[in-house]
Structure 1
Amino acid sequence: MDKFTVEEINLMCVFEGQERKGMIADIKNVIPHIQDSDMVELAGQVLGKLEAMSDAEFAEVALEAAE
């Protein structure tokens, strides 16, 4: 599995505290409301990686926003 980029981790931090499946559902719900095409693309990349990984792999991802 590809590692997450800094931008992807930062996006995921918005949904921090959730299980992988909950984060997937919330990102899918938010995408139609995103006005920026780059952010829509980023959200799609995150979804692809989240859907391809297991819950155990997700638990090992460090969700700390980079500045």
Structure 2
Amino acid sequence: MNFNGEELMLMMLYNSGTRLGLMQELRLMQCYLLPDETALRELSEGVIEKLKLISDADFDEVGFPLN
């Protein structure tokens, strides 16, 4: 799965170490978004959808830019 730069940055900011943990953190973050923060909501939804499609092993191979 290919993640773009914005997606990788968001993933890096909320990464808890596991694919499922990251998905949970992104969902939690969405609870705090204001109604006008649609771009961040859409970005996080896109990341969650992509994370659903990959395995935990594939997630472990994602190269985060600053790791």
- Measured against the shorter chain, the TM-score band is 0.7 to 0.9
2: distance between equivalents of 1:30 and 1:40? 9
Q: Give every structure 1 segment of 4 or more consecutive aligned residues whose post-TM-superposition deviation is greater than 6 Å.
A: none
* Bigger relative contact order (CA 8 A; separation at least 6): 1
Displacement of 1:16:
3.0
**Count of equivalent residues:** 64
User: How high is the sequence identity, in percent, across the aligned residues?
Assistant: 30
2:65 is aligned to: 64
Structure 1 residue 34: Cα displacement: 1.7
Shift of residue 17 of structure 1? 4.6
Q: Which runs of 5+ in 2 are unaligned?
A: none
User: Where do 5+ consecutive residues of structure 1 fail to align?
Assistant: none
Q: CA RMSD in A?
A: 1.3
Who is 1:44 aligned against? Answer: 45
SS at match of 2:31: helix
Question: 37-46 or 23-32, which moves further after superposition?
Answer: 23-32
TM-score (norm. length: structure 2): 0.86
Give deviations 1:21-48, integer Å, cap 9, x for gaps: 1001111111121231100000000000
Q: Distance in 2 between matches of 1:52 and 1:16?
A: 17
